[in-house]
Amino acid sequence: MVPSAAEAESAASASGRLLVLYASQTGNAMDAAERVGREAERGGCPAVDVLSMDSFDPSRLPSERFVVFVVSTTGQGDPPDSMKGFWRYLLRKDLGAQWLEGVRHAVFGLGDSGYQKYNFAAKKLDRRLSHLGAEQVVEIGLGDDQHSSGYEGALDPWLLSMWKSLNETNPALLPRVSDINDPNLSTLGDPKVHVIYYSSNEVPQDSILSEPNKIINSARSMSPALQFHDDGGPPYMLQMVTNQRLTKEGSDRDVRHFELEDPSSAISYKTGDALEILPSQNPSAVDAFIERCNLDPDCYITIQAKSGDKISKGSVVSSLMDRIKLKTFVALTMDIASASPRRYFFEVMSFFATAEHEKKRLQEFASPEGRDDLYQYNQKESRTVLEVLNDFPSVQMPFEWLVQLTPPLKKRAFSISSSPLAHPNEIHLTVSIVSWLTPFGRTRRGLCSNWLAGLDPSKDNLIPCWIHQGSLPPPHPSVPLVLIGPGTGCAPFRAFVEERAAQTAAEPTAPVLFFFGCRNQDNDFLYKDFWLTHAQDEGVLSSKKGGGLFVAFSRDQPQKVYVQHKIKEQSARVWNLLLTGAAVYIAGSSTKMPADVTAALEDIICKEHGVIKEEASKWLRDLERVGRFNIETWS
Rounded to an integer, what distance in angstroms lies between the CA atom of residue 127 and that of residue 135? Answer: 11
Query: SS3 breakdown of the chain: % helix, strand, coil, rounded to 5?
Result: 40, 20, 40
Three-state DSSP class for residue 495: helix
Do residues 192 and 292 make contact, with C-beta atoms less than 8 angstroms apart? Answer: no
Interacting residues of 150 by C-beta distance below 8 A, sequence separation 6+: 143, 144, 375, 379
11 marked among binding-site residues: no
323 marked among binding-site residues: no
Q: What is the pLDDT of residue 315?
A: 43
Interacting residues of 278 by C-beta distance below 8 A, sequence separation 6+: 216, 235, 332, 409, 411, 464, 465
- Domains, the chain, with CATH or none: 5-185 (3.40.50.360), 481-634 (3.40.50.80)
412 marked among binding-site residues: yes
24 marked among binding-site residues: yes
Q: What is the pLDDT of residue 229?
A: 61
User: DSSP readout, 568-634?
Assistant: HHTHHHHHHHHHTT-EEEEEEESSSHHHHHHHHHHHHHHHHHT--HHHHHHHHHHHHHTT-EEEEEE
Per-10-residue mean pLDDT of the chain, 635 residues long, equals 43 63 87 90 84 93 95 84 93 93 95 84 96 95 86 90 86 64 66 89 65 88 76 85 95 95 87 96 97 95 71 42 87 95 93 96 90 90 97 97 94 95 94 94 95 95 92 94 97 97 94 96 96 95 95 93 96 96 92 90 95 94 94 83
Neighbours of 441 (CB within 10 A): 6
488 marked among binding-site residues: yes
Residues in the chain: 635
Rounded to an integer, what distance in angstroms lies between the CA atom of residue 74 and that of residue 121? Answer: 8
448 marked among binding-site residues: yes
- Nearest CA among 334, 81, 342 for reference residue 231: 81
561 marked among binding-site residues: yes
- Nearest CA among 390, 426, 422, 125 for reference residue 265: 426
560 marked among binding-site residues: yes
299 marked among binding-site residues: no
478 marked among binding-site residues: no
633 marked among binding-site residues: no
554 marked among binding-site residues: yes
Q: What is the pLDDT of residue 600?
A: 96
Rounded to an integer, what distance in angstroms lies between the CA atom of residue 108 and that of residue 117? Answer: 16
74 marked among binding-site residues: yes
2 marked among binding-site residues: no
145 marked among binding-site residues: yes
Rounded to an integer, what distance in angstroms lies between the CA atom of residue 612 and that of residue 610? Answer: 7
264 marked among binding-site residues: no
User: DSSP readout, 19-58?
Assistant: EEEEE-SSSHHHHHHHHHHHHHHHTT-S-EEEEEGGGS-G
Burial of 64 (0-12, 13-18, 19+ CB in 10 A): buried
26 marked among binding-site residues: yes
596 marked among binding-site residues: yes
72 marked among binding-site residues: yes
Q: What is the pLDDT of residue 47?
A: 85
Q: What is the pLDDT of residue 17?
A: 83
634 marked among binding-site residues: yes
564 marked among binding-site residues: yes
563 marked among binding-site residues: yes
446 marked among binding-site residues: yes
434 marked among binding-site residues: no
